Amino acid sequence: MTDAPTMTAAVIDRYGPPETIALRQVPIPAPAAGEIRVRVRAATANRTDTATLRGYPFFARAMTGLLQPKMAILGMDFAGEVDALGEAVTAFQPGDRVFGLLPFTYGAHAQYVCLPATGAVAPIPDTLPFDEAVVAEGAWYASSTTDRLNPGQRCLVYGASGAIGTAAVQLAKARGAEVTAVVGTRHLELAASLGADHVVNYETQDFTRLGQDFDLVFDAVGKSSWFACRPLIKPGGLFAATDLGPYWSNIWLGGWYSLTGSRRVSVPFPEDAPGFVRSLSALMAQGKFRGVFDRTYPLADIVEAFRYVEQGQKTGIVRIDIP
Ligand SMILES: NC(=O)c1ccc[n+]([C@@H]2O[C@H](COP(=O)([O-])OP(=O)(O)OC[C@H]3O[C@@H](n4cnc5c(N)ncnc54)[C@H](OP(=O)(O)O)[C@@H]3O)[C@@H](O)[C@H]2O)c1
């Protein structure tokens, strides 16, 4: 009898701090019918991974497991090459370079991961290396807000330097909106380089006094509130946020305004990950979207990567290099 081949993976068996993660040798997964197996070359450590590791917010455990996480390996973003096909898969070939998302199953913090061929996976544009293709997590969250924009509308992105904010600026521009990016001093040049029409420094200017000029105000870092941003929003405009807001205000205000008001509040949750990843692949191929990258950590240092991401100070995306 031969031993099953193994791979290196960052494994969790309970909710907790980054130190909960341990590198282990685990069996290489075999693709089931309709699945592909990807040899992962690059992944990310992101705010979804850190929230899932902590089991926070608690209600999210309805999806991730009440007392302990359902998934043994985190990692929502991946880029790599198809290395094996399950039965009846015709859309991919071994060797295809692909990137994508594993929104509910995770698993990219390992050398191999399996996912449905019909899942959130798309080709990496030819000229792009693997480590520049792990871009989907923040962009997917951003898209659920920016997809509401029409050409010519005005959008303000508060916190345009994180994974979601940097993506939001680019996706809003790709939809033909006029974009005002609000960032701190160290990110002024970055925001302009992403195509923002106007850049505001929140350290030197009170952005909430810019005037009632915006169809959409997006708090992309969960540090503002509808109460602060209300003076910016045109009648009939939208306030959207990545987080629940003070006292969960974004949730209950969203419910209230959906019943009554002209100024609406929303904490959108993205859908259709497969369709989104395919559209992102096309935008990258057209040069309309690029990842903004901060530090890269080897898989062996993944605990350090999670500690850094939890500080809430990264610029764009933190990568994990998979050996
Ligand atoms: N629960 C979930 O599953 C989930 C999943 C994804 C994201 N989220 C939420 O979405 C939010 C954004 O995620 P992300 O990955 O884009 O965040 P991120 O990358 O960690 O955001 C960090 C960036 O925000 C900037 N920032 C920090 N404080 C700020 C402030 N007061 N005003 C403006 N900018 C500030 C930082 O730069 P400076 O400090 O230099 O300005 C840094 O560049 C997070 O709050 C996260 O909780 C939740």
**DSSP-based three-state secondary structure for 173:** helix
144 within ligand 1 shell (Cβ under 6 A):
no
DSSP 76-112: -EEEEEEEEE-TT--S--TT-EEEEE-TTT---SBSE
On whether both 22 and 63 belong to a single domain, the answer is: yes
Structure tokens at 228: 């602060």
**Which of 228, 251, 266 lies at the terminal end of a domain, its last residue?**
266
Atom 24 (ligand 1): residue with closest C-alpha? 162
89 CA to centre of ligand 1 in angstroms? 38
Look up residue 50 and give its amino acid. Answer: T
Q: What is the pLDDT of residue 262?
A: 57
Ligand 1 proximity of 164 Cβ (cutoff 6 Å): yes
Q: What is the DSSP letter of 17?
A: S
Q: Is 58 in the pocket of ligand 1 (CB under 6 A)?
A: no
Label the pairing between strands 77-85 and 35-45: antiparallel
Query: Residue 255 has what pLDDT?
Result: 81
Give me ligand 1 centre to Cα 221, in Å. Answer: 4
- In angstroms, the CA 199 to CA 180 distance is 6
Whether the CA torsion 266, 270, 276, 277 is positive or negative: it is positive
Are 142 and 262 members of one domain?
yes
Three-state secondary-structure class, residue 5: coil
- Ligand 1 within 6 A of CB of 224: no
Domain match, 27 and 110 both: yes
Mark whether 150 and 261 lie in a shared domain: yes
CATH of the domain at 119: 3.90.180.10
Q: How far is the CA of 250 from the centre of ligand 1 (A)?
A: 16
Task: Give the position, in ligand 1's atom list, of the atom nearest the Cα of 315.
Answer: 43
Q: Are 163 and 259 in a shared domain?
A: yes
308 Cα: distance to centroid of ligand 1 (angstroms): 12
Rg (CA), the chain: 20
| Residue to probe by mutation, ligand 1, list 144, 204, 221, most atoms within 8 Å of CB | 221
The secondary element (H helix, E strand) that includes residue 217 is: strand 214-219
242, 197: one domain: yes
Tokens linked to 241: 């946020």
Across the chain, which has 323 residues, the per-10-residue mean pLDDT values are 85 97 98 98 98 94 94 97 97 98 96 98 96 98 97 98 98 98 98 98 97 95 95 93 90 80 79 97 97 98 98 98 95
Cβ(218) – ligand 1 distance below 6 Å = no
Residues 37, 125 share a domain: yes
- State how many domains the chain has: 2
Three-class DSSP category at 54 = helix
Tell me what pLDDT residue 261 has.
63
pTM more than 0.85: yes
Query: What's the pLDDT score for residue 197?
Result: 97
Ligand 1 atom nearest 243 alpha carbon: 9
**Which residue is closest in CA terms to ligand 1's atom 26?**
159
Q: What per-residue confidence (pLDDT) applies to 66?
A: 95
Q: Residue 204: which domain range?
A: 138-266
For 149-192, strand residue ranges (E) read 154-158, 178-183
Calculate the dihedral angle through the C-alpha atoms of 63, 65, 66, 69, rounding to the nearest 10 degrees.
-140
- Could you tell me if the CB of 267 is within 6 A of ligand 1? no
Task: Report yes or no on 205 lying in a domain.
Answer: yes
Q: Residues near 208 by Cβ (< 8 Å), separated by ≥ 6?
A: 224, 228, 229, 231, 232
Q: Is residue 285 part of a domain?
A: no
pLDDT of residue 263: 61
Give the CA diameter of the chain: 73
Alpha-carbon torsion, ordered 233, 239, 244, 249, to 10 deg: 50
For CA atoms 266, 271, 277, 278, the dihedral sign is negative
